[in-house]
Every structure is written in structure tokens, then in C-alpha cells.
Structure 1
Amino acid sequence: MRFSNKSLLVFTLCMPGLVSSPAVQAETPSDTANTAQDAANLDARIDRMADRGIEFLRTRGQSDNGAFSGATGAAVTGLCVRAILEHRPAALQADPVVKDALKYVESMVRPDGGIYEIGSKHRNYETSTSVLALIAANEANDETASGGAGKYDSILSRAEAFLKDIQWDEGEGLTPADPAYGGAGYGSHSRPDLSNTSFMLDALHELGNDAEDESIQKALRFVARTQNLPAADDMQAVNDTKYADRVGDGGFYYTPAAGGQSQAGEAGAGGLRSYGSMTYAGLKSMIYAGLTPEDPRVEAALDFIRKNYALDTNPGMGPQGLYYYYHTFAKSLDVAGIEVIDVEGGTVHDWRADLVNQLESSQQDDGSWVNRQSDRWMEGDRQLVTAYCLLALAHAKK
């Protein structure tokens, strides 16, 4: 769900200088021609990187059973399939690598509707990423007129029910007053967190659940409690935990559940420090839940983004989770319909061009990407990190 052009105009008026869109700017014919040429050049660079990244996954990333990083169950395989099909939908029919990967994902389908390795402690993560892969496969069947449209509908319908069932809510004995309410965790009995909730919302949104869906509105309660923002009287879903006003910068942290935690550590006065990847995940999740540009929660998140715009670091985390950050950065700004960001100090950033420059400079000779500074959260795994980058690049295309 993108913001409409009208919303973008409101967005710009609400926060002067934050974003702009070609839809709300007067352009001369020469400006329009230059803009189109710039976009074409950027897309060509993205295609070149994507070709190399996909070739790495095709020739060096896959196991004999069709899995990518099979120790993660279906999780990384789902991300890799989605990443390939985002750029090359025809690969569904033409490339045995994609076919074998999809067969592996199908082999992970369980009687409860989840898609995960037996004994997995990451059932939500595996199922959510697999859902995204299977939706892309259905869409690729449509685009290539292969006659297989809707092939995975039954699996997807059961996976949707599974994800809604494992969401932390009344089924786990919670009430809306509980900080864990509405969230999703990895899928074991651990606490919910914003990262997993964001993946679940990606899956539910693409499965056709709109902002009024009960599970998405439950998730909004959880997401709001991960934002460093004091409650306002006119907000229905707010951070009503003890952390709400201890930082107050509008950014997001990892979880309010089980006492609260930020992967970036604590701030002064016992607050939980905001950081980049979770702030973009929070912004995207609020958009899925129907919040508009003028909503104070969205405004606060965007203010944090203006003040902490960066692509050489995951703000608040340094190199840790850097490539996951690129994925959430690109997807969130694309979903929001944001074209440029005017950071503090007046510099206007075309985030797509900045991202392409960054990923061009860090692509390895073999076509992969890897986090050489920190392997936290599996970012030493080339299959996972290459999938993150290909997904980010897909959102950077005009």
C-alpha cells in the first residue's frame, strides 16, 4: 500500500523539507528528460548488480537438496527465491535452481500450516519468508502465462492461518494491556520482537490483509510500544510502557516484551536506545496498519530518519545488522512512496542513488555480498546477505 500522491503532498506539508516527489513538484521538459535518464541509468546499474548476485546464488549458493543455507530451515531459501524472482520472474520456468528451491520450501510445509523445519525455533520467520517466496512464484506464473497461476494458493491459505494463530494475543492468555500483545516472535516460546513482527506483517499484507484486518491492528499495538514516543491523547495505539518518554526521539527498538530490550543497548535514564533497522521496520509496519503521513507516530519516525540518515552504518548499531538494515531501509521508503530525504543541515538525498552507490562499492568479486565487519545475525552468510541486497535493489528500481 503506497501513499497516494495526495498523501505525499500532505506528507511534505506536514514536515517541510523531509520528502518530495515528482508528483508534487513542477518540472520543465528538460528536467523531466534528465530525471528519466537518471532513473534509466540507475535501473541499468541495478540490473548489472542483480545479474551478478543471482549468478552467485545459482552457481555457488545452493545445496543439492535445493536449500540455501539449509541450517536455517526454509528461512534463507525463501528469501533467496523471493530475491531472484523480484528481478527475474521468468526464472521460475527457466531455471532449475528456482524450481529446486521451491520444491525444498514445499517439503517444509507442516500439517499445522506452517512452513518450517521439524523442531524449528524459528517457525514464524521461516513461514513468513516462505510465504513471500510462494507469493512471488504465483505472480511469476501469472506474468509468464505458464498456466500455473494460483499453484500455491492452498499452501498460502493455511500458512496465513498459521501465522495468525501464533501471533501473541488472547490465544496465549494475553490482554491488549500486555506489552507482548500483538507481536510475533521467532515462533518458539520466546518473546515477540519487532523484527519478526515486521516479517509477519509483510506476509499478511501480501496475502491480501488490509489495514482493517484484526491481526494487523493487533500488531500495531505491539509496534507502537516499540517506538520511543510519549503517548498523545488522540492516539489509540501508543507506547504505554515505562520506556515511552525516556528517549523520545521517535525511533524504534527491538521489543517492549519481557522487560524490554534494544539491541543497541540502553540510553540515559533507563531508556531503550533507538536504532536504524528497527525504525524502518516500524515505519513500514505502521503504514501497513493504515497510519497516514500526518499521524504523529509517522511524523516522529520520519524525524528520526532525517536526523540519522546513513548508509555506511546501521544507525545506533554501527556495522551490526548492516545488510538487514539496507533491506528494511529500501523496502520501507519504497512502501512509503518517499523519493528524497532532506536531512538536517539541508542536504537532499536521493536514497535510491545512495543505496545503489553503497551496494556497488561492497559487492564482492564473485557477485555476492557479505558483512566483513560483523557476522552478528548471520551476516557472515553470503546467501542471506546477497538475498538482502537483491531485495533492497528491487525496491530501489523506479
Structure 2
Amino acid sequence: MKATAFLSILAAGVATAADTSDRYASVQQEIKQAIARGNAWLKSQQKEDGHWDDEGIPAFTALALTAATRDPNVNVKKDTPEYVAKGYDWLIKQQKEDGGIYNRGLSTYNTATSITALVVLGKSDYEPTIVRARKHLIGQQWDTGEKGKTDNPNDGGVGYGAGTNKDHDDLSNTWLAIEAISLSAQVVADGKFGDQPDLDWKAAETFLSRCQNLSATNDQPWVSEDPKNKGGFVYSPTGSKAEDTLPDGRKALRSYGSMSYAGLLSMIYAKVSADDPRVKAVKEWLGRNYTVSENPGLGTSGQYYYYQTMTKALSAANIATLKLADGKEADWRKDVADKLLSLQQGDGSWKNTDGKWMESNPVLVTAYTLLALEQVYYSIPNK
């Protein structure tokens, strides 16, 4: 199995200028060295049995493995280091009878990140594990009420999954599921595992629209045409991590950075055209709110999660420079690289002083950062 989908969507270069590789030559080497130090620190944090940090959350291990596997300093696929192989062995042992890869709930988050890690390494031995996990993930898509009709705001999305009592789904879990299902599609494409289910992509697209502040395509009552929010994405059609009060007193769900990049990336995986008004609108929101200093709309909360969604989405959208509200163009690759390089700790790790959404955990934050830097590194085209 080759990770062609991952490479074509997330690692392809987005610029074509002949001098691009020269322009980024210095920063690319700095990124490469920072990645080596970061992965060395992560290696030092691995537990004896092969997992990272909390064994109840396999996603920590999956993210660390993806970071190690994408390290440009080593060819992990050709000659897999012992510690990486040990980590993968631990990860596949966490698969449950229902196909999910999880331990203490959060089956969507854990299974999706695990599928991505397994696809990235590209070993055919892992294909049966991937197929079972993929089927589990597809089964998490919401379809309430009349089957096949998106008559509930949650329909088409993906929630937290097995082991939780959350009565809604959300864009964060949905984009992770969409990514894992898309990247693993190559494993089932040749039919050797028989007929396999697929996501209801039309329903998923409807759910994504219901997470976007765009009244022309979103039928939810909270949608705002306020320029501050228009075009951006929120956490869920039924509630968000942040709200605004409009001049007329209504509550509007606030658009914010990490979810807006997740929305753009999900639209790309769902094969929504770049000319679609939803895609154009979110790109405009991202340009108006461009920054590498924080997660726009939420400040330092989820800041490192923001960096990895940002770099993935801009790469997948083939955006070399992002057009800003003032007409200028932002060199996002250099901006992200400079910011993250400046934040690396002396031991090679990264940390967030804002602990919301588990970002007080340096293993998680370091893995997020490495994924962002690796994305930047591979998005720089060679001559």
C-alpha cells in the first residue's frame, strides 16, 4: 500500500515559480533540523510498551507516529526504526471488536488519527486493521429521523463516537473522520476486501454547509451576515466554542480560525469545487483574519491544533500566498515556519501556556507542531 492520497493532497507543492526552492532553501533546512530535534524529544517520551503519554487516548501515540513517519531526515518507510515499529504494534493492538481504535471513549478522534498514522506508514500488513477501523468510522456518521434525509442539523456529521454521551456531532470530529476516510480510500479501491461502505458525502457536505456562517447556503437560524463572521466556520450547527451578540440581540455562533481551516479542508476532501461560493467565502474570511500569532476568534486556545489545520488546508487548496483584506499577499509557509521555530523549547519540544483542549500536554503540542512543520517542509516544491 502506498500513501499516494496523503502525498497528493497534503504534501504536494503549491507554488510553481522557478526560484521557489531557492527562496525557501534556508528556512527549509531550519525546519528540517527543528523536526529532527522535535522527534528526538518525542522518542524520549515513549513508554516501555510502545505508547505515548496516556494509553487511554491512542490518538497521542498515533500523532507521534505520524510525526515520526513524515520526518524528512529519515526514510521510515524503507527502514522503520525499532521504536516506531514498536509504537505501531501497540497501536494496532488497541483495536476493538467494533473496529474502532480507542480505549477510554472518543472513538472518532482516536480511530481517525490512528487510521491516518497507519496509512502514512503504508505497510500492507496493516490494511485489514485500516479496513475495519474505516468501517467503524463511517458508522459514526449521523442520520437521524427519516433515513437518507438531512432533516436534523446534526445529520451528515460525525460526533465523538463510542464511549461518550455527547448528543451532537461537530466539525472537529467530522473533518478528522473525513480525512481518515479519504486517505484510506485507496486501501479498499481495488475490491480485494469486498464491498465496503463509504461516507454519505452529500450528507457530509450539507453538514459542512450548516457549520458555515453563510446565509446563502446555510439553513440554520443562527447564521450571521456580520462581516466579522461571514464565510467562516463554527464548531457545530447546534452550538459553538464561542458566540457573539448581534446588534439586534440575537446570538450568533462565532467563526474562528481552526474550524474555518478544518471546514476548507473538509470541503476539498468532499470534492467541492474551488469556484463554489462556500469555498470562496471561507478563503475570504481566512484572508481577513490571517495571523500566526493566535487561533483567530479564540486567542491562544487550541493554537497548535490551529497550526496543523492551517498548513494542511492551505496546502490542499494549492494556495501559495493567501490574499489578505488589504490586497497584500501573505507568505503563510514562511510565517508559520518562523513562528514555530521561534517557539521551540531548548529540549526540542513545544508547549502551550493555554491548557484548553489538552494543549497543556507537551507530547500532544509537539506532535501537532511537527505535523505543521512537516506540512510546510513538503509543500515547498523542488526544482
Unmatched tracts of structure 1, length 5 or more: 5-20, 139-148, 232-237
Alignment counterpart, residue 184 of structure 2, candidates 197, 207, 216: 207
Q: 1:175-254 maps to which residues of 2 (within 5 A)?
A: 175-187=149-161, 188-190=164-166, 191-208=168-185, 214-231=199-216, 238-245=217-224, 247=226, 249-254=230-235
Unmatched tracts of structure 2, length 5 or more: 9-13, 190-196
Instruction: Verify the 8 A CA contact 2:256 2:298 in the aligned structure 1.
Output: yes
The 1-side partners of 2:198 and 2:26 are apart by: 40
Q: CA 1:58/1:159 → structure 2, altered by over 3 Å: closer, same or farther?
A: same
Alignment counterpart, residue 242 of structure 2, candidates 237, 240, 264: 264
Instruction: Verify the 8 A CA contact 1:246 1:271 in the aligned structure 2.
Output: no
Deviations 1:192-251 (A, max 9, x none): 1100001001101101279x95433322111110000012xxxxxx32111223545100
Which stretch shifts more, 387-396 or 65-74? 65-74
Instruction: Indicate yes or no: 2:276 matched with 1:276.
Output: no
Question: Could you tell me how far 1:178 is from its partner in structure 2?
Answer: 0.5
Question: 1:80: which partner in 2?
Answer: 64
Instruction: Indicate yes or no: 2:351 matched with 1:370.
Output: yes
Question: 1:116: which partner in 2?
Answer: 102
**Alignment partner of 1:204: what SS?**
helix
Instruction: Verify the 8 A CA contact 2:144 2:152 in the aligned structure 1.
Output: no
Q: 1:352-367 maps to which residues of 2 (within 5 A)?
A: 352-367=333-348
Question: Could you tell me how far 1:107 is from its partner in structure 2?
Answer: 1.4
Q: CA 1:94/1:293 → structure 2, altered by over 3 Å: closer, same or farther?
A: closer
Instruction: Verify the 8 A CA contact 2:243 2:251 in the aligned structure 1.
Output: no
Alignment counterpart, residue 85 of structure 2, candidates 99, 113, 125: 99
Question: 1:13: which partner in 2?
Answer: none
Which has more helix, going by share of residues? 1
Instruction: Verify the 8 A CA contact 1:128 1:203 in the aligned structure 2.
Output: yes
Q: Give the length in aligned residue pairs.
A: 349
Normalising by structure 2, report the TM-score: 0.86
Deviations 1:101-152 (A, max 9, x none): 11111110111111111xx2200111000001111121xxxxxxxxxx4111
The 1-side partners of 2:202 and 2:179 are apart by: 14
The residue type equivalent to 1:197 in the other structure is: T
Question: 1:350: which partner in 2?
Answer: 331
What fraction of aligned residue pairs are identical, expressed as a percent? Answer: 36
Runs of 4 or more, structure 1, over 4 Å off, are 170-174
The 2-side partners of 1:311 and 1:222 are apart by: 28
Instruction: Verify the 8 A CA contact 2:351 2:365 in the aligned structure 1.
Output: yes
Question: Could you tell me how far 1:73 is from its partner in structure 2?
Answer: 2.2
The 1-side partners of 2:159 and 2:199 are apart by: 18
Which stretch shifts more, 46-55 or 72-81? 72-81
Which stretch shifts more, 285-294 or 38-47? 38-47
Instruction: Verify the 8 A CA contact 2:64 2:367 in the aligned structure 1.
Output: yes
The 1-side partners of 2:111 and 2:315 are apart by: 24
Instruction: Verify the 8 A CA contact 1:174 1:181 in the aligned structure 2.
Output: no
The 2-side partners of 1:185 and 1:116 are apart by: 14
Q: CA 1:22/1:134 → structure 2, altered by over 3 Å: closer, same or farther?
A: closer
The 2-side partners of 1:313 and 1:365 are apart by: 22
